[in-house]
Structure 1
Amino acid sequence: MGNSVFFFLNNVSIIVGWKKVGRKGVITVKDGKTLNNKLEIIEGMKFDRGYISLYFINTSKGQKCEFQDAYVLLSEKKISSVQSIVPALEIANAHRKPLVIIAEDVDGEALSTLVLNRLKVDLQVVAVKSPGFGDNRKNQLKDMAIATGGAVFGEEGLTLNLEDVQPHYLGQVGEGIVAKDDAMLLKGKSDKDQIEKRIQEIIEQLDITTSEYERKS
């Protein structure tokens, strides 16, 4: 979990922004509506996976998807059937919120249905493959769940089924940006205590890690 910085282009602002977020922060430049520079530090996550289909693009400002006040559906498993995604779509539609789906993969009838609804009824949705592999993927999905206040469907030890999704199982973000090769989840509706607990878990794991590969992955 890290910080993202949004500011209006100015060399001094870039230097200040870089110092504030550190080496692992993300710096993004946005067009402003005023003549003044603005530096805004936002908590969020960035990962190296983009949209599964170009048909999800919803803005003319580059090949990306931009959402405000969106739900986030997290799944450790592949999503292929229409029945698996309909309940989450109904919840998002009822609350008039976009839906960001992050799963091992989204294909078959599920993907076709999402794309068709995106094109025909302007459904605000995007499907993204979850980053990493194996335990690394599980850990990153867990981090996303904590950062957005949601749950991971298909997670080992849990009996959550996508067909039984309820609003409180979905994560929430104030802003989501998904490009071809990466995605950012910003302003997550997270529980600060859960974040601190997760940070301590990671620190403890690093303390007992002896494999250099695990430290870098």
Structure 2
Amino acid sequence: MMVRPDHVLARVLSDSTFTTNGLLGMASGIRILARLVRCCYGPKKRLVVMTRKLDSPVLVSDTYLICKDFELEDRHQTMGVRVLQAAISTVNQAAGDGAATAAILLDSIIEGGLRQIRYGIDPAILRNGIDLATRQVLQVLPRYVQHARDDRCVVTALLRTVSLDRQIPGMIEDALDAVGADGIILVRESRKTFSELAVADALQLDNGLVMMLLAKDTLNGETRLEEPYIFLTDKVIVLAHEIRVLIEQVSALNGSLLIVAKDIEGEALSLLGTSHLAETISVAAIQAPEYGDQRLEALRDVAALTGGMVYEGRLCGPIPEEFFGRADEVVVTKCSTTFVRPHSDSSQVELRIVEVRQQSVDERLSQYDRERREKRLGNLLCKTATLSVGAQNDVEMGELLEKVRRVLYAIRTGLKHGAVPGAGATLIRAAAEAEASLAADGKTSAGANIVFKALRQPCRQLLRNAALDDALALQIMDHYSAVDDNEIYDLERRCWADPYESCVVDSLQTLSSAIQTASSVASVFLSANAAMSQHLV
């Protein structure tokens, strides 16, 4: 076969290491990235200068942004970096926050585990001890939650964890006050250089007019329907007589018509435009929200909110009037539909809310599916806030949108699962209580001790970043070991304080996810006996 000289043939080679050198290289990569994360941890964090391809360097302190595109030249070290990046991504998906805590714990457990392996401890025994200690700590953690006092603390504390413009945290707090933890807060890209917040006490769908010909107000591209009859179907409307049946029936009632369907095509769409131009009836049509199995569920949500029902049959004749939903006004634009004061069936709405909340509890749901259900829940509560984030350039816009979405998810998770005293205090107290429990049962082991020592590291790093001397830091950590004591050392004011009054708290879900992910990844890592990397030559 002839090969042109300007063509380059590449082969994929696998490099296998069956000694501890490969694992030590991976651990070295984890440690390098964890050191960067450590200096950005806590209220006294420092900044990291990060270079970007084809762009100028930036100063960042966000763990996710630091870790996202981090690479090293050594292949084994890069494998370790990938392990830490995967762990951080898992924690972010579960809780929205806690990436730095997970990185510190993972690095500490792996370092302690490798030390024990060098001393001749069997990795299988270490893994059993790590798993046992983790289960015990996760069982103890919920005891430190105080639901009655922490709502405002969770919001304030989690907003401190990300570097945001002063204006945005205030808007997030206003949005949460307006719509509540279960309401919809849409985060969108603004065309302006500053951020804005808009709150609507109405049901809002992201779908707009199926064609702009239906817009009455051509200048603003919208149409307003006064007290319309709302027809809901999960079918595609194609035939003209299907639309004619609806138009004639609603015209006889001297009303306006809104059609929400899977889609409207062909003759049906043409007749809809003709009826609008002839002013036979005030009519608008939108596509049904969501897709797949969630489309029918979303339509049933709208039906409960408007007092109607979803029509699942073919349009062959007049539709029973109870199938039509109602609202005082519906505003339809090219990209959204707002139902103002819908005539909801309160009993059906309550049932739908309970059903959606039960579905959201399923831990097997991905973050995307969970967000879809949270959006449905916000629609059922008829509370929507839109936060339009502004920035000077596209790069800054992408980073801001990512930060705002993650902190909002972290706040919702914290409000849902509760909060515990922060500053690393809860981790030390939970470790002390779990260690005492295992000691009483005679189940302590080298693996368990690795976890208990690692749980002290986040607090130690916070105190180190605050430039406290070692003697005072040791005294503070020993004080935290008193399980019955609820005080924390406020690094901002340099004094002992109540965590809920000082808003120094952590989300329970954040700590649980960080501990579980770090210990799980570390125990698997320590059980490995070979490292294999692939590269092009």
Is the TM-score greater than 0.5?
Answer: yes
Q: Deviations over 1:98-121 (max 9, x none)?
A: 101111111111111110111023
1:52 match: 210
CA distance in 2 between counterparts of 1:174 and 1:163 reads 28
Give structure 2 stretches of 5+ with no counterpart: 1-170, 187-198, 373-537
Question: Given that residues 209 and 215 in structure 1 are in contact (C-alpha distance below 8 angstroms), is that contact kept between their aligned partners in structure 2?
Answer: no
Residue in structure 1 matched with residue 346 of structure 2 by the alignment: 192
**2:292 match:** 134
Question: How many residues are treated as equivalent by the alignment?
Answer: 184
Give the TM-score normalised by structure 1. 0.77
Question: Which residue does the alignment assign to 2:241?
Answer: 83
> TM-score normalized by structure 2?
0.32
Contact 2:243–2:271 (CA under 8 A) maintained in structure 1: no
1:91–1:167 CA contact under 8 A, matched in 2? no
Counterpart of 2:359 (choices 197, 201, 205) is 205
Partner of 1:161: 314
Matching residue's letter, 1:24: I
What displacement does 1:60 show?
5.1
1:195 to 1:89, Cα distance in 2 relative to 1, 3 A: same
Q: Distance in 1 between matches of 2:315 and 2:268?
A: 12
Question: In the alignment, residue 214 of structure 1 is paired with which amino acid?
Answer: D
Match of 1:70 in 2: 228
The equivalent of 1:20 in structure 2 is: 178
Could you list the per-position Cα deviations for residues 11-66 of structure 1 after superposition, in whole angstroms to 9, with x for gaps in the alignment?
A: xxxx798432346268xxxxxxxxxxxxx974x32111110111111125611011
Identify the range of structure 1 (86-95 vs 67-76) with the bigger mean alpha-carbon deviation. Answer: 86-95
Alignment of 1:113-128 (within 5 A): 113-128=271-286
Which structure has more helix as a fraction of its residues?
2
CA contact (8 A) 2:247 2:281 kept: no
Distance 2:226 2:219 in 1: 15
Report the 3-state secondary structure (helix = DSSP H, G, I; strand = E; otherwise coil) of the residue aligned with 2:361. Answer: helix
Unpaired runs of 5+ residues, structure 1, are: 1-14, 27-39, 155-159
Find the counterpart in structure 1 of residue 395 from structure 2.
none
- Give the RMSD, CA atoms, in angstroms: 2.3
Displacement of 1:161 in angstroms is 3.2
1:146 counterpart SS class:
helix
Other-structure match for 2:371: 216
CA distance in 2, matches of 1:209, 1:72: 35
Shift of 1:75: 1.1
Distance 2:174 2:281 in 1: 35
Greater relative contact order, per chain length (Cα 8 Å cut-off, separation 6+): 2
Q: Which amino acid aligns with 2:227?
A: D
- Deviation digits for residues 178-216 of structure 1, max 9, x if unmatched? 111111122212111111111111111112342223212
Following superposition, which runs of at least 4 residues in structure 1 exceed 4 angstroms of deviation? 15-18
The one-letter code sitting in structure 2 at the alignment partner of 1:163 is C
Whether 2:149 is the aligned partner of 1:149: answer no
- The alpha-carbon distance between structure 1 residues 122 and 94, as it changes in their structure 2 partners (threshold 3 A), is closer
C-alpha separation in 2, matches of 1:54 and 1:41: 24
Native 8 Å contact 1:102 1:127 kept in 2: yes
Query: Residue 101 of structure 1 aligns with which residue?
Result: 259
Q: Contact 1:64–1:179 (CA<8 Å) still a contact in 2?
A: yes
- Determine the C-alpha separation between the residues in 1 that align with 2:219 and 2:185: 23
CA displacement 1:62-101 (0-9 Å, x = unmatched): 1101111001111101001122122221221111111011
